[in-house]
Structure 1
Amino acid sequence: MLNPLIDEIFYLILKQPIWKVHTLASALNDAGHLSVLDKDPQKDLFKRNFLVMNALYQLQIQVSPEQQLHIAALHIELINNKCEKVLENTDPLREYYLDWQNYDTTSDEIDALLNEFWQRFATFNRHTTTANLTKEQLLQVQKAWQLPANFSLKELQKRWRQLALKHHPDRQGCAIQFKKIQREYEQLKASCS
């Protein structure tokens, strides 16, 4: 089903390319595009968020591969596509928000989702925006970074600087790719100490 908010969100993103989900929802609400969707305040908030996220993920698919729409709760950005990778094959959030059956969620399910969110938030590592990589994933990153098996911190730092210079947005690189290697660097650094 085509979300009626797609065009409205696209117009907003064209005017201002960087948003947060709550500021985007507020702008849609102020423009009269989001009305009260449920008498239960928790369900109303959930449904509003669902519609915004669903529209964002549909828009992400529509603008790809010419542009990339980066979607995270605290950072939504439309980027001209200079990146090597367009869309990840599997994104659990995208899959969740593109499934319209999740729109009509019960209050108990919303409470469970909120509890799960707050539990993850409480254990969130403030130095990285992703969960820790598994040992196998770290080995794959190490290989992709062309690091030796028993790399030293000095070797890692040297390789990090090379990749950072190559991918930094101020040097015509890709912001999303730069953030990805920055997260990988933090993970690799933690693994070698």
Structure 2
Amino acid sequence: MLNPLIDQIFDLILTKQVWQVHILASELINSGAIKSLDKNPDRDLFKRNFLIMNALYQLQTQLHPQTLLVSALHIELLEKECEYPLTIKTNLKDYYLNWENYDASAQEVDALLTSFWERVKHADTTVTLTKENYDELTAKWELPTNFTLKELQKRWRQQALKNHPDKPSGCEIKFKKVKGEYEQLKAAAR
């Protein structure tokens, strides 16, 4: 089924490169494209977000999977293709493309919200590098085995300048990957 919000969302993402779902929702509500969808506020929020995510994933498929980056907290229309393919959480994409999920009951919505907040509450933000991963990253980053924080920061700046999306050779996906590796190495250096 073709989502009626696809054209409005496409028009919006053409005006600004980076979005978040709640900002898109506000714009769609203000323009009158989305009205109240349910008397229950939680189900209304769920249905609104479902329609937006469904439209985004349909757009991603229509444009090209490597052109539209979609997650709840970061939606970005990339200006150029990166050599890294985007990592797509197919279970999330599959969920939002299945129209049967749109009519989730109040209990299902409550369970989803509870599960989400539990994951956020108990999320382990520290990443532990194994010896193998540590060795791979230090070699990849061309760092000595017992590197200093100053050496790591210097390499980070070089990598950031090389991969930043605003640079001709840059790529958003590469930049985020390098940033993640930097955070892991920085945590391991302490």
TM bucket, shorter chain? 0.7 to 0.9
Letter in 1 for 2:164: H
In the aligned structure 1, how far is the partner of 2:131 from the partner of 2:51? 36
The CA deviation string for residues 19-55 of structure 1, in whole angstroms up to 9 with x for no partner, is 2211211211222221222222211110110010111
Distance 1:88 1:140, change over 3 A: farther
Say what the alpha-carbon RMSD is for the aligned residues: 3.0
CA contact (8 A) 1:70 1:76 kept: yes
1:46–1:144: structure 2 CA closer, same or farther, 3 Å change rule? farther
Alignment partner, residue 165 of structure 1: 161
Are residues 59 and 46 of structure 1, via their aligned partners in 2, closer, same or farther at CA, if it must alter by over 3 Å?
same
Task: Tell me which residue corresponds to 2:86.
Answer: 87
Q: Structure 1 CA distance, aligned partners of 2:85 and 2:101?
A: 26
Report the more deviating stretch, 141-150 or 85-94: 141-150
Q: Separation in 1 of the partners of 2:121 and 2:148?
A: 29
User: Which residue is 2:118 aligned to?
Assistant: 119
Question: Deviations 1:74-102 (Å, cap 9, x if unpaired)?
Answer: 33221112411233254432232122222
| Aligned residue among 147, 152, 156 for 2:147 | 152
Deviation at 1:137, TM superposition (A): 9.4
Q: Distance in 2 between matches of 1:37 and 1:162?
A: 49
Deviation at 1:115, TM superposition (A): 1.4
Distance 2:74 2:88 in 1: 20
Counterpart code for 2:80: N
- What pairs up with 1:168-183 in 2 under 5 angstroms? 168-172=164-168, 173-183=170-180
CA contact (8 A) 2:18 2:76 kept: yes
Q: Is the 8 Å Cα contact of residues 133 and 187 (structure 1) preserved in structure 2?
A: yes
1:167–1:178: 8 Å Cα contact kept in structure 2?
yes
How far apart, in 1, do the equivalents of 2:178 and 2:8 lie?
33
1:145–1:159: 8 Å Cα contact kept in structure 2?
no
Q: Letter of the aligned partner of 2:159 in structure 1?
A: L
Question: Who wins on radius of gyration, i.e. which is larger?
Answer: 2
> Given residue 68 of structure 1, which amino acid in structure 2 is its aligned partner?
T
Aligned length: 188
Cα 1:104–1:144 shift into 2, 3 Å: farther
What is the match of residue 78 of structure 1?
77
What percent identity do the matched residue pairs reach? 52
Partner of 2:106 in structure 1? 107
Q: Does 1:184 align with 2:178?
A: no
Q: Residues of 2 paired with 1:93 and 1:136: CA distance?
A: 32
TM-score normalised to the size of structure 2? 0.80
Give the unaligned 5+ runs of structure 2. Answer: none
Q: What letter matches 2:85 in structure 1?
A: V
